[in-house]
Amino acid sequence: MRRPRGTRDLIGEELASIRYVERLMREVFKRYGYLEIETPIFENLELFTKKSGERVVKQLYSFRDKSGRDLALRPELTAPAVRVYVERFRSDPKPVKVFYLGPCFRYEEPQAHRWRQFLQAGVEIMGSSRPEADAEVLALTDSVFQTLGLDDRELRVGNVRLLRAVLSEMGVVGESQNKILRAVDSRDFGRLEEELRGVEGAETLKKLIGVRGGPESIGKAREIVGGVEGAMEAFENLEEIVELARCSGVSNLRVDFSIARGLEYYTDMVFEVYVRGIQLAGGGRYDELVESLGGEPCPAVGVGFGVDRIARLVLERGGTPEEGVECIVLPATSEGVEECARLARKMRDSGLRVEMDLMGRTLRKALAYADSRGVRYVVIIGPREREEGKVTLRDMDSGEQIRIPETELIETLKEKLKNGNPSARKFPSS
């Protein structure tokens, strides 16, 4: 029996890198004052068909349950977070700030590093229309990547309201706008040419989405757009957000008016994060989604992170700390098993990651097993050690052995681990 197509088993260092990224993300989210929420794996189908966009709707895992209700596995986590806000938080003091981490599901064509079950993390701010909220989401996003050591990140910021204003000026409205924006978002310029065929003023849009660079690029875009209705407000809002983000320490921010985002609920500022040309996060402002999902009108802004892609990149760069077994406790003879069990528990209670032999191996075979696992230190307890109240601590890399009082073992081992380089547990590759 094989696993379903488009899924994977997470094992060893790959899983460890994901847990590491999740832990650091959770720490950053909490430092910014966000409350963690967890939503159901499946929701009512309508939650995702209203505003998620054509591409996401086509990829839904949807089904009807035994009571005839139309449900879907969640394809993303912003809409569920908004539902939670409408049901639980809409009367709370504003803004409401939440974060989440969890699996999502989309029926995508399997390809390298893209899965039908994937992990998403993110934050949402609901209740503030001010540019300070947009800037905080940018600053938090930047903090996550800084904490993970991804210093070559690039935050690309655009504005969907501006793109829609230009399209309206061209006479393009409704679903026709969405088709064009989807082509812009996917960088499908052939499709874009088709959608714009015969549309008066198409050159203005093409020039606008070609504007990329530092904050000064906003001025260049102003010259291209001219006096399009609503454009000046969009430019002023974007300038204020960019300046506030800069004051919050975001130094690698680039303006990119081709950023459109695939989800159709975005209304104003949108952004994406890239490392080496790989998109790792994205978000923006979505002031109409809360109302469309049954709440009162409520401004909102947020960001989603692709945990799997981020974790793989961190792993490739060697940024994941080694969290395998730090020590194995071995009896020199079968009479030492009980003493090993007692000592192993004592060491674990002190915070060390410790195994003991569970197979009744001879000491020679147990040492070979420890070596095959890549464990740096082994504690050996034999008849002489038990008699003297001591243990033998062996460095598997150097072969050096020292006999020390058991009372000094934990402190000695922790000092060696702190100053040395403990080897990680060896796992089969996934």
Q: Where among 287, 316, 345 does a domain terminate?
A: 316
Domain containing 343: what range?
327-419
Residue 308 CB-half CA count within 13 A: 16
pLDDT at position 429: 39
Residue 196: how many other CB atoms lie within 10 Å: 19
Tell me how far apart the alpha carbons of residues 287 and 333 are, in angstroms, rounded to a whole number.
Answer: 70
**pLDDT above 70 (res 201):** yes
Domain with residue 393: its CATH number is 3.40.50.800
Q: Where among 256, 290, 316 does a domain terminate?
A: 316
* Mean pLDDT along residues 283-295: 93
Q: 257 and 342: one domain? A: no
Q: 21 and 105: one domain? A: yes
pLDDT at position 241: 96
- Are the C-beta atoms of residues 352 and 301 closer than 8 Å to each other? no
**pLDDT above 90 (res 75):** yes
Q: 266 and 351: one domain? A: no
pLDDT at position 198: 77
pLDDT at position 420: 67
Q: 361 and 302: one domain? A: no
Comparing 225 with 18, the larger pLDDT belongs to 18
- Are the C-beta atoms of residues 14 and 257 closer than 8 Å to each other? no
pLDDT at position 50: 81
pLDDT tens, residue by residue, 358-374: 999 999 999 999 999 88
Q: 298 and 382: one domain? A: no
**pLDDT above 80 (res 430):** no
Mean pLDDT of the chain: 91
Q: 20 and 92: one domain? A: yes
**pLDDT above 70 (res 291):** yes
Q: 299 and 335: one domain? A: no
Q: 288 and 333: one domain? A: no
Structural domain count, the chain: 2
Q: Where among 316, 343, 369 does a domain terminate?
A: 316
pLDDT at position 51: 72
Query: Could you tell me the pTM of the whole model?
Result: 0.87
**pLDDT above 70 (res 344):** yes
Token pair for residue 188? 């499908």
pLDDT band at 225 (very low <50, low <70, confident <90, very high): confident
pLDDT tens, residue by residue, 38-57: 999 999 999 998 876 667 78
Domain with residue 210: its CATH number is 3.30.930.10
Q: 312 and 255: one domain? A: yes
Out of 2-6, 64-68, 126-130, 410-414, least confident range = 2-6
The reply to whether 195 falls in a domain is: yes
Q: 187 and 304: one domain? A: yes
The helix-helix angle for 217-225 and 160-169 (nearest 10°) equals 20
Token pair for residue 356? 């003991």
Q: 201 and 235: one domain? A: yes
Q: 192 and 57: one domain? A: yes
Out of 173-187, 223-237, 247-261, least confident range = 173-187
Residue with the two structure tokens 């399009």 = 228
pLDDT at position 263: 64
The reply to whether 127 falls in a domain is: yes
pLDDT band at 427 (very low <50, low <70, confident <90, very high): very low
Task: Give me the count of residues in the chain.
Answer: 430
The reply to whether 1 falls in a domain is: no
pLDDT at position 262: 66
Comparing 127 with 184, the larger pLDDT belongs to 127
pLDDT band at 99 (very low <50, low <70, confident <90, very high): very high
